[in-house]
């Protein structure tokens, strides 16, 4: 009984406390509208102060850009003109998908628009039509040259500038004359088109990065379109898009798409960074795609000795104008002594890519002086060897950056042969005490133009076949492993 009495007394005390708490809560609920009304101005002031401090403390909002940051728009340069920023006082969950531009890439600017997007080539316009419930005014919010060589004034000079615009009134927008159900990618084939290195570095590799995720269900619109360029790389283009290419500059049609990308993703010079978007792609993926597109037989090399009677094939990329090998016959003879079957080919602008791709794919080792012809490495079978001959002039770092890293990333064995001064024709043009001979880095300090004109345009090479023999022997050893 005593235990029951204590329990009842404790329960009574608890119930009283609970009733008191409920009374306090009830009073607060009755008075809360009045309290909130009285404190709202203070809360608003505090909120505005927080917003202003956030903007001022943001390192992206420099003093001269403060007004632009606060408005959420920029009107300075191509890189600074961004869409897709959050607008004042709007609930993001209720906003439609807005146009966005990625300017973070080291080599390209890429803009994307989703929804109702209309392209009018004659006016150089790509127009995003906002939904009817938005108050966004009609405006041009981005100018872009869709070529993946950001900052290269020479390359971009010939690239057509496009205007990306937004319109909020459907009745003012140009009416669609052609409707498409697949996304579109807009890019240019101007710039350095025709140089195979730049064809891949500035256009084809970026196009692979940007379009491969669509598995052919995407349409290309090309400005500055060159029919010969389309024909040359037709096999690759047809495997990236199953649809006929549209000349952006031709006609007065209004092409309408559900999604448009203007510009191409680009990571590095003739290379792919798997850590950058779209994440996961690599040079190995690209070369596999190239072998598939051109229906090449060899996915990887056949190790020497696995098939009796077959010698490993060595391909020498020949050059005639600059950086040419002046003793090719001696090199061929020496390579045959080492144990190779040798093929010598000089690619040109008129080279049939499908035929040349088959030749490259049939070889186990490819040799060439630093230059555009080495871009044909994309057709080599996996585990093949690429040997780059580097001209005189402290060009080893440039050579490795342009082709060495990409070759390794493509699962090729990469060897670099840097010629001695005695192997360079510059010895015949300048005395030994000339800065070009004595101090090549002094030429580098004059800029890329001086380096190019001196060490690339004015130099030929006569290989020391005894010295180069060790490199070919090393490559042969790799093929046997």
Q: How confident is the model at residue 309 (pLDDT cuts 50, 70, 90)?
A: confident
- Does the pLDDT of residue 394 top 50, yes or no? yes
Q: How confident is the model at residue 104 (pLDDT cuts 50, 70, 90)?
A: confident
Tokens of 244: 């006929």
What is the average pLDDT across 347-362?
91
Q: Which of 118-132, 373-387, 435-449 has the lowest mean pLDDT?
A: 118-132
Q: Which of 75-84, 259-268, 278-287 has the lowest mean pLDDT?
A: 75-84
CA atoms within 13 A on the CB side of 258: 6
Q: Which of 17-21, 111-115, 420-424, 471-475 has the lowest mean pLDDT?
A: 17-21
What is the average pLDDT across 440-455?
97
Please tell me which residue, 207 or 47, carries the higher pLDDT value: 207
Average pLDDT over the chain reads 82
For the chain, domains (ranges, CATH) are 70-83+95-281 (no CATH), 305-480 (3.40.50)
Q: How confident is the model at residue 415 (pLDDT cuts 50, 70, 90)?
A: very high
- Does the pLDDT of residue 434 top 70, yes or no? yes
Q: Which residue is associated with the tokens 């004034």? A: 153
Give the burial class of 259: count Cβ atoms within 10 A of its Cβ; 0-12 exposed, 13-18 middle, 19 or more buried: middle
- Does the pLDDT of residue 26 top 60, yes or no? no
β-bridge partners, 341:
313
Q: With helix as H, strand as E and coil as C, how does the chain read? A: CHHHHHHHHHHHHHHHHHHHHHHHHHHHHHHHHHHHHHHHHHHHHHHHHHHHHHHHHCCCCCHHHHHHHHHCCCCCCCCCCCCCCCCCCCCHHHCCCCCEEECCCCCCCEEEEEEEEEEEHHHCEEEEECCCCCCCCCEEEEEECCCCCCCCHHHHCCCCCEEEEEECCHHHCCCCCEECCCCEEEEECCCCCCCHHHHHHHHHHHHHHHHHHHCECCEEEEECCCHHHHHHCHHHHHHHECCCCEECCCCCCEEEEEEEEECCCCCECCECCCCCCCCCCCHHHHHHHHHHHCCCCCCECCCCCCCCCCCCEEEEECCCCCCCECCHHHHHHHHHHHCCEEEEECCCCCCCHHHHHHHHHCCCEEEEECCHHHHHHHHCCECCEEEEEECCCCCHHHHHHHHHHHHHHCCCEEEEEECCHHHECHHHHCCCCCHHHHCHHHHHCCCHHHHHHHHHCCCCECCCHHHHHHHHHHHHHHHHC
Q: Is 224 within 8 Å of 160 (Cβ atoms)?
A: yes
Hey, what's the torsion of the CAs at 463, 466, 471, 472, to 10 degrees?
90
* pLDDT score for 348: 81
* pLDDT score for 334: 98
Q: Is 317 within 8 Å of 351 (Cβ atoms)?
A: no
Q: How confident is the model at residue 297 (pLDDT cuts 50, 70, 90)?
A: very high
Q: How confident is the model at residue 168 (pLDDT cuts 50, 70, 90)?
A: confident
pLDDT digits (tens, 9 = 90+) for 137-156: 666 678 999 999 999 999 99
pLDDT digits (tens, 9 = 90+) for 112-133: 999 999 999 989 999 999 876 5
Hey, what's the torsion of the CAs at 325, 326, 328, 333, to 10 degrees?
-130
Q: Is 390 within 8 Å of 419 (Cβ atoms)?
A: yes
What is the average pLDDT across 192-212?
97
* pLDDT score for 302: 84
Q: Which of 8-17, 70-79, 189-198, 250-259 has the lowest mean pLDDT?
A: 70-79
Task: Please work out, in degrees rounded to the nearest 5, the angle formed at the alpha carbon of residue 65 by the alpha carbons of 62 and 67.
Answer: 125
Task: Please work out, in degrees rounded to the nearest 5, the angle formed at the alpha carbon of residue 65 by the alpha carbons of 59 and 67.
Answer: 115
CB atoms within 10 A of CB 416: 17
């Amino acid at each position: 009984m005593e235990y029951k009495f204590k329990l009842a007394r404790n329960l009574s005390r608890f119930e009283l406390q609970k009733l008191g708490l409920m009374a306090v809560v009830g009073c607060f609920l009755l008075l809360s509208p009045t309290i909130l009304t009285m404190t709202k101005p203070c809360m608003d002031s505090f909120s505005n102060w927080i917003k202003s401090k956030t903007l001022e403390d943001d390192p992206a909002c420099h003093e001269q850009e403060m007004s632009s940051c606060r408005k959420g728009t920029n009107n300075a340069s191509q890189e600074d003109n961004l869409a897709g920023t959050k607008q004042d006082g709007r609930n993001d969950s209720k906003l439609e998908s807005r146009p966005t531009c990625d300017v973070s890439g080291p080599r390209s600017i890429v803009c994307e628009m989703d929804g109702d997007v209309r392209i009018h080539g004659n006016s150089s316009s790509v127009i995003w039509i906002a939904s009817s419930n938005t108050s966004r005014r009609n405006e041009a919010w981005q100018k872009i040259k869709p070529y993946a060589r950001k900052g290269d004034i020479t390359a971009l000079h010939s690239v057509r500038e496009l205007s990306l615009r937004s319109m909020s009134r459907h009745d003012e927008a140009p009416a669609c004359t052609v409707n498409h159900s697949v996304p579109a990618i807009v890019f240019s084939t101007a710039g350095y088109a025709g140089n195979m290195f730049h064809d891949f570095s500035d256009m084809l590799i970026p196009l692979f990065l940007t379009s491969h995720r669509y598995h052919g269900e995407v349409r290309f619109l090309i400005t500055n379109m060159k029919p010969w360029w389309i024909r040359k790389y037709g096999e690759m283009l047809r495997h990236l898009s199953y649809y006929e290419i549209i000349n952006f500059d031709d006609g007065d049609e209004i092409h309408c798409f559900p999604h448009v990308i203007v510009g191409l993703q680009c990571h590095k010079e003739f290379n792919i960074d798997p850590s950058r978007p779209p994440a996961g792609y690599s040079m190995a993926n690209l070369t596999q795609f190239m072998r598939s597109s051109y229906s090449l037989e060899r996915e990887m090399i056949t190790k020497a000795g696995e098939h009796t009677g077959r010698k490993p094939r060595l391909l020498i990329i020949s050059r005639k104008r600059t950086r040419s090998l002046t003793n090719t016959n001696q090199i061929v003879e020496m390579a045959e002594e080492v144990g190779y079957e040798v093929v010598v080919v000089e690619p040109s602008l008129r080279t049939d890519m499908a035929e040349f791709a088959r030749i490259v794919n049939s070889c186990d080792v490819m040799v060439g002086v630093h230059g555009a012809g080495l871009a044909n490495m994309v057709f080599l079978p996996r585990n093949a060897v690429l040997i780059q001959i580097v001209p005189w002039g402290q060009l080893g770092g440039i050579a490795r950056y342009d082709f060495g890293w990409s070759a390794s990333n493509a699962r090729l064995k990469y060897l670099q042969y840097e010629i001695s001064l005695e192997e360079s024709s510059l010895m015949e043009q300048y005395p030994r005490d000339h800065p070009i001979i004595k101090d090549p880095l002094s030429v580098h300090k004059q800029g890329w133009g001086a380096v190019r004109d001196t060490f690339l345009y004015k130099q030929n090479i006569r290989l020391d076949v005894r010295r180069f023999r060790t490199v070919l022997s090393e490559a042969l050893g790799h093929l046997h492993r």
